Amino acid sequence: MLTLRFHKELYDGFVLDAAMRTYAAVASFERAEVGEYYEVRLTSSGRHPEQRIADELGNYALGASIEERTSSVRDAAYSANTKSPGAGE
């Protein structure tokens, strides 16, 4: 079993859940919140090395967290622009 730690300020919890669902076919996961971290305990189903799954899960979670963050910043900017009719004039 491998334990991974993802800082809450850097990784999105929902995205982490989605990543675990994506890799559910090759490993089982347990998620807990420990202080400022999400802690993920990973157990491979046997076909792939745990370290490889952990690395891939980490990349997936980071990429999706960044995409999520980028789109939420963009949405916030768009709604701020559309709510004030005089914005940008």
Partner 1 sequence: MTEQSVTIKDEAVTIEFDEALYARDSIFGAAYIFIDRCYVHLDRPHPGRIAVTLKPKPSAEQDPEALAGEFENELLGQAWRRLITDENRLLIEQVTTRALSGAAGPPGLDELMDLEIGDETAFDDPLGIAMSWEEKYKSKNRPKPSESEQESG
Q: In terms of Cα–Cα distance, which of 6, 20, 15 is closest to 69?
A: 15
- Out of 10, 24, 32, 76, which residue is the one contacting partner 1 (CB under 8 A)? 10
| Least spacing, CB of residue 7 vs partner 1, in Å | 5
| Least spacing, CB of residue 87 vs partner 1, in Å | 7
Considering the rule CB under 8 A, would residue 69 count as an interface residue with partner 1?
A: yes
Q: What phi-psi label fits residue 44: left (phi over 0), alpha (psi between -120 and 50 degrees) or beta?
A: beta
Contacts with partner 1 by CB under 8 A lie at 5, 7, 9-11, 36, 55-56, 58-59, 62-63, 66, 69, 73, 81, 87-89
